[in-house]
Amino acid sequence: DSGVTQTPKHLITATGQRVTLRCSPRSGDLSVYWYQQSLDQGLQFLIQYYNGEERAKGNILERFSAQQFPDLHSELNLSSLELGDSALYFCASSVGGTTEAFFGQGTRLTVV
């Protein structure tokens, strides 16, 4: 158990809908990262937050957004969902930006 908690574990939704994925980082970790894992793209970095502020952006679509709250949990919002958004979404956390990241179990999103 990495200490990073993601909910829900599975999510099935229809095209055009909006969903929210939640992540609770390990106790004491200030950085939260979101990654997408799909068969064709592999593991891709989406976005990082550090202590409530956006720190870095990767290949995140404009339809996707994230935030980190004062209690350090984070949410990834995915809107106008398309079939191609079906993937495993991982959250990871670290103490800062220069230490190793620990991953949650992921949320499997299926868009039908």
Partner 1 sequence: AQSVTQPDIHITVSEGASLELRCNYSYGATPYLFWYVQSPGQGLQLLLKYFSGDTLVQGIKGFEAEFKRSQSSFNLRKPSVHWSDAAEYFCAVGPGGGADGLTFGKGTHLIIQP
Give contact residues for partner 1 (rule: CB under 8 A).
2, 4, 31, 33, 35, 42-48, 55-56, 58, 90, 92, 94-106
Task: Using the minimum distance from each CB to partner 1, give the nearer residue, 54 or 82.
Answer: 54
As a whole number of angstroms, the distance between CA 17 and CA 92 comes to 25
**Minimum CB distance to partner 1, residue 16 (Å):** 28
| 23 versus 78: smaller Cβ distance to partner 1 | 23
Measured CA to CA, the distance from residue 6 to residue 23 in angstroms comes to 5
**Cβ proximity to partner 1, 56 vs 80, nearer residue:** 56
Per the structure block, which two tokens stand in for 36?
A: 């997408």
Q: Taking the alpha carbons of 106, 64, 38, 14 in that order, is the dihedral positive or negative? A: positive
